Structure 1
Amino acid sequence: MSHPCATRYPLVLVPGMLGFIRLVLFPYWYGIVDALRRGGAVVVAVQVSPLNSSEVRGEQLLLRIEEILRETGAEKVNLIGHSQGSLTARYAAARRPDLVASVTSVAGPNHGSELADYLARHYPHDSAKGRVLAALLWLVGALMSLLETGYRGPKLPVDIPAGHQSLTSEGVALFNQRYPQGLPDTWGGQGAEEVDGVRYYSWSGTLQPGKTDRGRNLFDGTHRSCRLFARTFVREVGHCDGMVGRYSSHLGTVIGDEFPLDHFDIVNQSIGLVGKGAEPIRLFVEHAARLKAAGI
């Protein structure tokens, strides 16, 4: 039997802001974990604080990595992070490169999110509008925590201002000064393929009229949200997935930055409702084969 996804080290999937493992019966990585396991991979979807800084989330991830290594007997893990999960994974790899074989950023705001910048300008944390937004995020997070059925660990801390600041261009710039591994030297370029023994990869998508607004996305409310959020972009207007810009997502070896996928489609959320011709699960399966071929 063929095992195209049987990587040497386990695949650890790290969610983004307001991330989860499973809400009732709905998994964050819809169809992706099953596809990877069918291909022979050892896969673990983890939970970290849904609303907190990338550094706090990264420390939580390091603890979880140590648990996974004890459970599996593996020496290292391959980290795949979506959105803020990519920053979380980058932190863990920078702090403990001996435990990490690779970091893959999937629609990661590696140079910040223009949506986060817009919210910081128009909904500052010390304003009435900012407090209302923070309250709404807290309520959403609390509801999701009640519906979470895939995580059974201790209660995770919440710090909404820190989580928001971690995604702004200013906040990520400070993060990048401390943890620059895999970052491109030039805007829109590729970063180093390997740093301190850790391989770095990334891919992302963009909103594309005629593709992302067709197919099953016609019935997807999160896609409509991404199209609305895209209006906040200035530097990468017309070149974003609704939350993260095309070039802002670059890290290490760039597998692709214009897949017809919005920020939620790229991890096959909304019960797999994606745009015309989009195949997000295939990207993960192909990447597992890529990591296997690299011997990790």
Structure 2
Amino acid sequence: MKHSLKKLVTATAVATAALTAPIAQAGYTETKYPIVLVHGVAGFDSVAGIVGYFHTIPYNLKRSGATVHVASVSAFASSETRGAQLANQIVPWANAQGGKVNLMGHSQGAPTSRVALTLQPNKVASITSIDGVNKGSKVADVIRGVIPADSVIEGGAAAIANAFGTIVNWLSGANNQQQAIDALWTLTTPGTNALNQTHGWGVDTSNYCGTGPSSVNVNGNNVKLYSWTGNTSFTNVLDVLDPPQALLGLAFVGQSVSTSDGLVDICSAKMGQVIGTHYDMNHMDAVNHTLGIRSLWHNPVTQYRSQANRLKNQGL
């Protein structure tokens, strides 16, 4: 009898766990405000509605309750231009659910989101920077230094980049302006420093490797700020994007901060509450490219889901 009772209690506990686990999982990413994913330079929302810049990430946020939108801003433009585009896009999304949005910006998507905060402070609940260019990129510095300003080389490079941006527009159904030279400048250290004079929310502008405030008050609106980044440029021999990122990562050799994700060093990526700078991922792994080929030791999708749950627990 005692043995049978023990088996019944055990079976009941297992059944209860099986029933309650899906319920808890179903609301794991259910934030109060919608999540808006903001792409970086040369990015897009999706190609023909099939291939997304944030590969599988929207789905993996939505499946546990989140409302997710993917912004469509210029592939090549200044952060100010992209930020103005984003500020307009988030208004209807915010108005449809709770009045605000949680912005998650990758690479140039981080400063783009900070500009949008300046322009629409009452529509932004939080900003999460993901491998963000918050204090400039040494890679952009090197490229800007190699290409002579106002030269034939600069004009040719800009024409190629703008043409690529036009193709991105066509494939993604967008109609965003393309300004390649402005995009390059805004990602350099001087260009980002200039941006941060007006839109430096969460960025420590006095200490390059310092950490800015985890929340800011913008015109009476309290906004939470977070960031994380990878710390390596090469993670998987099967990923065709890893060799060029490893090559670009050479720009950081000999610098005071040499640890980078291939395009941005860990100090530049810091903004607000730093969740981590130790993740085994490079710049494109951070958005689960190429088609999810990444390090065996870190799943970026889990990072987004954890952040959504963090926002949920903060009432955001």
Quick check: TM above 0.5? yes
What is the CA deviation profile of residues 143-164 of structure 1, one whole-angstrom value per residue up to 9, with x for unaligned ones? 222322xx4x5x2111111111
Moved more, 130-139 or 76-85: 130-139
Aligned pair partner of 1:177 in 188, 197, 209 = 197
Supply the AA of the counterpart residue of 2:55: Y
- Which residue of 2 is the match for residue 124 of structure 1? 148
Normalized against structure 2, the TM-score is what? 0.86
- Which residue of 1 is the match for residue 212 of structure 2? 191
- Which residue of 2 is the match for residue 286 of structure 1? 306
Q: 1:167 Cα shift?
A: 0.3
Aligned 8 A contact 1:207 1:238 in 2 = no
Alignment of 1:27-42 (within 5 A): 27-42=52-67
Compare relative contact order (CA 8 Å, sep 6+) and give the higher one, 1 or 2.
1
- Which residue of 1 is the match for residue 6 of structure 2? none
Q: Percent identity?
A: 33
- Which residue of 1 is the match for residue 42 of structure 2? 18
- Which residue of 1 is the match for residue 75 of structure 2? 50
**Distance (Å, rounded) in 1 between the aligned partners of 2:43 and 2:263:** 15
Aligned 8 A contact 1:182 1:251 in 2 = yes
Relative to structure 1, the CA distance from residue 146 to residue 236 in structure 2 (aligned partners, 3 Å threshold; closer, same or farther) is farther
What is the CA deviation profile of residues 46-70 of structure 1, one whole-angstrom value per residue up to 9, with x for unaligned ones? 1011111111111111110112123
SS at match of 2:302: helix
Supply the AA of the counterpart residue of 1:56: T
**Distance (Å, rounded) in 2 between the aligned partners of 1:30 and 1:38:** 14
Aligned 8 A contact 1:236 1:246 in 2 = no
Q: Gaps (5+ residues) in structure 1?
A: none
Q: 1:237 Cα shift?
A: 5.5
Aligned pair partner of 1:230 in 249, 255, 276 = 249
SS at match of 1:12: strand
Larger C-alpha radius of gyration, 1 or 2?
2
Q: 1:135 Cα shift?
A: 2.3
- Which residue of 1 is the match for residue 263 of structure 2? 243
**Distance (Å, rounded) in 2 between the aligned partners of 1:273 and 1:244:** 20
Aligned 8 A contact 2:228 2:277 in 1 = yes
1:158 to 2:183 alignment: no
Q: Gaps (5+ residues) in structure 2?
A: 1-22
Q: 1:141 Cα shift?
A: 1.7
**Distance (Å, rounded) in 2 between the aligned partners of 1:139 and 1:236:** 36
What is the CA deviation profile of residues 202-255 of structure 1, one whole-angstrom value per residue up to 9, with x for unaligned ones? 0001116xxx43xxx212111111001111224256401111111010000000
After the TM superposition, which parts of structure 1 deviate over 6 Å for at least 4 consecutive aligned residues? none
Supply the AA of the counterpart residue of 2:54: W
SS at match of 1:198: strand
Moved more, 237-246 or 190-199: 237-246
**Distance (Å, rounded) in 2 between the aligned partners of 1:237 and 1:175:** 21
- Which residue of 2 is the match for residue 277 of structure 1? 297
